[in-house]
Amino acid sequence: MRKIQEPVRNTVTRSIAEINPENDRGPSVGDQQETAEAETSQRRDRSALGYLEPKGTTVGFAQCGTCGLFIRPRPRCYVLSDQLMVDEDDSCTQYFLGDPIDEPELEPMNAATPQEVGFIRDTNTRCENCVSFADDFSCRLFQELNAKLPGLFNLDVGVRPKACCNAFQPQ
């Protein structure tokens, strides 16, 4: 069973009033600068969305056929149920580039549902096939997140056509 970690508490942003309740002057300029620096350092990059770039010239990158969790002889995914047939051109958020498993007797773990891992069928999950991919090799979704939530996101908007992320939406 997985242990869920407690959320990280940011103690840098405490104001003088929190440290000394008798002081009601509010946060000083120094406190405000510390807060801004802490917030900037905690902004999320593309890894928060599972952005992956292909290694070399991998054909079928981000598809089950090139995933280290794909049990090729069955064909099933090691993470999902044995009841779910998985094709080489399917995809999900648990993808990692690796040699598929060639052990037909290996039973899938049934650790997650298709919905929990964002399982999709027969889709080339790549930036070039996503509604957010722009002609200048940038991601419109990343641009929008940066613009609308600058305190939360600092996403490099440049993407590679054969890359992918967990926010993929087919065109």
Nearest to 106 by CA among 76, 67, 86: 76
What would the pLDDT profile of 49-66 be if each residue is shown by its tens digit?
999 999 888 889 999 999
Q: Are 82 and 108 in contact (CB under 8 A)?
A: yes
**Residue 34 pLDDT grade (very low, low, confident, very high; cuts 50, 70, 90):** low
Q: How far apart are CA 120 and CA 64, in angstroms?
A: 10
Q: Is the pTM of this model over 0.85?
A: no
Instruction: Classify the C-alpha dihedral 50-37-145-9 as positive or negative.
Output: positive
- Give the three-class secondary structure for 125: coil
pLDDT of 70 > 60? The answer is yes
In this predicted structure, which of 18-32, 79-93, 138-152, 154-168 has the lowest mean pLDDT? 18-32
Q: Are 107 and 123 in contact (CB under 8 A)?
A: no
Q: How far apart are CA 3 and CA 141, in angstroms?
A: 32
What would the pLDDT profile of 112-163 be if each residue is shown by its tens digit?
999 999 999 988 899 999 999 999 999 999 999 999 999 999 999 999 999 9
Nearest to 10 by CA among 37, 48, 44, 47: 37
Give the tokens for residue 130: 């996503």
User: Across-strand partners of 91?
Assistant: 120
Percent of the chain with pLDDT over 90: 71
Q: How far apart are CA 158 and CA 140, in angstroms?
A: 10
